[in-house]
Amino acid sequence: MNSTELTFEMPQERRDFLLEDAFLQATDSAIVVPNTLQKALFPRLSTQDTGLLVLTGPGAGRLEAVFVPVVAGSPFDRQLHRLYIVAPDNSLLDDYIYRLVPSIRSLSADRQIPVTLFVDSPEPFCRQYLSDGSYVDDRWNHPLDANVDIAVTHFSSFRSLFFGAGGVHALPGMLERPDNDGQKFDIYRRDLFYFDEAQGYSRDEFVGFVKLIEFLYAEDLDIVVGSTTLPESGKEDLSFLEVLSLPDALYQPPRSLRFINSHPSSGLETVIDLVRKQYFESSRAGIVQETASEAVSCYQLLTQLYPQSVICYHSEQPATDRLRNYARIRELEKEGEGYLLICDGKALECGDIDVNLLITPLCAPESFIRRAGRCNRRGDLASGEIVVVGSQYHGRTIPEARLEAYRSAMESFETPGDYDVEQWKSFIA
């Protein structure tokens, strides 16, 4: 496997200005100064013949690192792409929608051309955003339509839609796109497929995932696979891709870890007691329960204590409710306001959420790393606090010896210590 540590040589002053301006415009000013990853990928993803496995820690901004040069085009190369964002089947798409829509609006206004977003699931919609700030719903009903610029979907839906429409041979090379006056112009652009969170597949699913990546790569299509906790075996399976790795240290703000060994029957009581002692009005606390039903039970208890602060966000909520709750969480963060979030593990791990205090049961090492990445995510605190409650294990099956070593390592934090992501990566099978 060819492996390259991500580096970026500072361009000339003008080129650097153009790069920063592209991120500023295409992200609606959410990113003023691109980070190391975004700078490094910018010239790579605006061209063709891309086959990359991008390995970063949580919170590295991979979505924007891919979105901006691919859809907005690079000042280094005006080659444009259509972008397909594909997530594992067990992922929520809320964060993609929340982050992409403002960027698409900004991009449409900046370029004075319509930009169309297709979201395939869980509740499909297709929306074209116009340069005047308005939008039109349901203009097209298929992500392979030439007018669709960005499609967001799950793996199984992507596989069904893509190959059900004739596979790669059905993709047009010269796409007619209407401008705001309804006139059409031709522009050549390639399709780039961004497969996010590659570690999110089960072992059986991962085999089919790799086969699809191999097929698309062999067809000379542009591929980017992103991951935070992909094990070595997964990297070997994708060895035909060029590896770009970014040291976790660049995106690991300080966090402390504490373990509380409570009996399962008293776990919720322990969590409530922790909240009473450590949650205060302007802070942000995240309480993880393993199932949606457990999250609802916890929410019902805590809402009696903190009726103005508690938000319930879990994977089994109707999509409209989830999106509304997720938007509320993110907007409170932007405003510097506090909240008390009750969620299941799936919802937390799929969100770009930033809490001061994270309380979670013992879970699979890869899930634990992703959850920990939501604590002090943006590094605004001197240190965030992660508290693991109970030794009952939840998550993927791992060999008994590895599980016992994992439990033992966690129990060593009954006296609080510094969280080091590398320590926990060693337990991923």
Calculate the alpha carbon distances from 239 to 46, 51, 93 in Å.
Answer: 23, 11, 28
47 vs 22: CA distance, rounded Å: 16
Domain boundary among 247, 272, 303: 247
Does 143 lie in the same domain as 36? yes
**Per-residue pLDDT at 402:** 92
Q: Are 91 and 197 in contact (CB under 8 A)?
A: yes
* Cα–Cα nearest to 364, from 399, 312, 414: 399
Rg (CA), the chain: 22
Domain holding 51, by residue range, is 3-247
Which residue bears the tokens 């809490």? Answer: 355
Does 351 lie in the same domain as 258? yes
Q: How is residue 100 written in tokens?
A: 């992409």
**Per-residue pLDDT at 169:** 45
Summary mean pLDDT of the chain: 84
Contacts of residue 46, defined as CB under 8 A and 6 or more positions apart, other chains included, come to 69, 70, 73, 74, 76, 77, 78, 79
Place 248 in a pLDDT band, splitting at 50, 70 and 90. Answer: low
By CB neighbour count within 10 A (0-12 exposed, 13-18 middle, 19+ buried), where does 137 fall?
exposed
243 vs 246: CA distance, rounded Å: 10
Q: What does the chain come to in residues?
A: 429
When mean pLDDT is compared across 96-100, 173-177, 350-354, the lowest value belongs to 173-177
Mean pLDDT calculated for residue range 87-92: 92
> Largest Cα–Cα distance in the chain?
67
114 vs 178: CA distance, rounded Å: 8
Q: Name the β-bridge partners of 261.
A: none
Peptide bond into 114 cis (omega under 30): no
Place 34 in a pLDDT band, splitting at 50, 70 and 90. Answer: confident
Strands 255-260 and 150-154: unpaired
73 vs 306: CA distance, rounded Å: 47
Q: Is the pLDDT of residue 355 over 80?
A: yes
When mean pLDDT is compared across 6-15, 57-66, 137-146, 336-345, the lowest value belongs to 6-15
Looking at 196-333, which runs of residues are DSSP E strands? 222-227, 242-245, 255-260, 284-289, 310-313
387 vs 358: CA distance, rounded Å: 6
Does 262 lie in the same domain as 240? no
* CATH number where 226 lies: 3.40.50.300
Does 266 lie in the same domain as 237? no
Does 242 lie in the same domain as 280? no
Does 232 lie in the same domain as 153? yes
Long-range contact set of residues 73-76: C-beta below 8 Å, sequence gap at least 24:
73/22, 73/46, 74/19, 74/22, 74/42, 74/43, 74/45, 74/46, 74/47, 75/15, 75/18, 75/19, 75/21, 75/22, 76/15, 76/42, 76/43, 76/46
**Per-residue pLDDT at 337:** 93
166 vs 330: CA distance, rounded Å: 39
* Cα–Cα nearest to 88, from 343, 349, 423: 349
Does 304 lie in the same domain as 237? no
pTM of the model: 0.86
Q: Are 51 and 215 in contact (CB under 8 A)?
A: no
Q: How many domains in the chain?
A: 2
Which residue bears the tokens 């007691």? Answer: 273
320 vs 333: CA distance, rounded Å: 20
Does 365 lie in the same domain as 242? no
**Per-residue pLDDT at 171:** 53
| Higher pLDDT, residue 219 or 249 | 219
Calculate the alpha carbon distances from 426 to 155, 226, 405, 422, 429 in Å.
Answer: 27, 19, 10, 7, 8
Q: Is the pLDDT of residue 423 over 60?
A: yes
Q: How is residue 429 written in tokens?
A: 């099978």
Does 301 lie in the same domain as 154? no
Tell me the three state secondary structure of residue 208: helix
Q: Are 255 and 416 in contact (CB under 8 A)?
A: no
Domain boundary among 226, 247, 268: 247
When mean pLDDT is compared across 126-135, 245-254, 267-276, 291-300, the lowest value belongs to 245-254
| Higher pLDDT, residue 175 or 293 | 293
Place 15 in a pLDDT band, splitting at 50, 70 and 90. Answer: low
Does 113 lie in the same domain as 14? yes
Element (H, E) at 390: strand 384-394
Other Cβ atoms less than 10 A from the Cβ of 337: the count is: 12
Does 129 lie in the same domain as 31? yes
Other Cβ atoms less than 10 A from the Cβ of 411: the count is: 13
For every residue of 215-254, DSSP letters joined together read HHHHTT-EEEEEESS--HHHHHHTTTSEEEE--GGGG---
Domain boundary among 247, 277, 294: 247
Q: Are 360 and 371 in contact (CB under 8 A)?
A: yes
Does 175 lie in the same domain as 34? yes
